[in-house]
Amino acid sequence: MMITEFLSEETSAKNLSEVIVGQVIGATTLRNFNFVIKKGMEHYVKRDEFVSVEEAVTGNEIIGVVKEITISNELLPDEFGRDLKMANILLLEGEYPVSTVKILGSWNGKSLEMPKYGIKPGSAVKLTSDETLMKILQQDIEKAAFIGTLSSRETVPVYVSINEIVSRHLAILAMTGAGKSYTVGVIIEEIMKKNGAVVVFDLHGEYRDISLPFSKVRIFSFDEESESKLKIDVSSLHASDFSTLIPDITPLQRD
């Protein structure tokens, strides 16, 4: 079957997780695979979307996430692409979008494990159901913090274990403006909802407005407008602490 013939097939179903959105093409590995997106399914297959395909030997559901989408034209050699772009020519006939998928694991109904068997080229690709994603991300809601939803599935909530947050080191890493402070604020509020106590060293005053009904929030600060003044007992300071408070001190004087 030619790729264009596969793309032209029509399908209709109420549950998108039962709809075939593509077909595996080319060589596959235990880390990634490519599939051509079926015609009419382009709107549903986007970057960071979760897709499923059947494992060749066990029949388990292999789950992956779309990391890249490229558009090719089976009627034209690749070397013509640059000339066509320069000439501003777009040929719709023979074009097909191809998704590159990073494999997250093999789902056996209870846990997500690294796959041990490959995927057959030509296998049908479907959207991973919300129910499966919820099972994978499942947490004890009474002991978990709700931090949002999946970016590609607003219907799938994401919880993180509060016990794992407070019992181990936690780092929230992202580029500037990505929402690190906001995420920390959400986690703090969620811990407070569970009657937890949080001590925040807020160097930039980003969490002053955090409060919940019936919660006790006290802000200690050197600022004049602060309700609770922050004080340090002089007897608890060492000579090295005093030296850091004196400006323009030389290394010799500090010693």
The count of structural domains within the chain is 2
Q: Clarify whether residues 109 and 153 are in a common domain.
A: no
Q: Clarify whether residues 179 and 121 are in a common domain.
A: no
Residue 242, pLDDT > 80, answer no
In whole angstroms, what is the distance from residue 237 CA to residue 241 CA? 6
In whole angstroms, what is the distance from residue 195 CA to residue 53 CA? 43
Q: Residue 43 maps to which CATH number?
A: 2.40.30
Q: What is the pTM of this model?
A: 0.73
In a domain? residue 230: no
Q: Clarify whether residues 66 and 164 are in a common domain.
A: no
**Angle 15-18-24 (CA atoms, 0-180°, nearest 5)?**
140
Kind and range of the H or E run holding 182: helix 180-193
Q: In this structure, are residues 97 and 36 in contact, taking their beta carbons and an 8 Å threshold?
A: yes
Full domain range(s) for residue 40: 3-134
In a domain? residue 50: yes
Residue 19, pLDDT > 90, answer no
Q: Clarify whether residues 105 and 121 are in a common domain.
A: yes
| Span 45-73, average pLDDT | 93
* Choice between 215 and 138, residue whose per-residue pLDDT is larger: 138
Q: What is the pLDDT of residues 149-206, one digit of tens each?
A: 999 999 999 999 999 888 878 889 999 988 898 999 899 889 888 888 888 888 887 8
| Span 53-68, average pLDDT | 95
In whole angstroms, what is the distance from residue 29 CA to residue 62 CA? 12
In a domain? residue 218: no
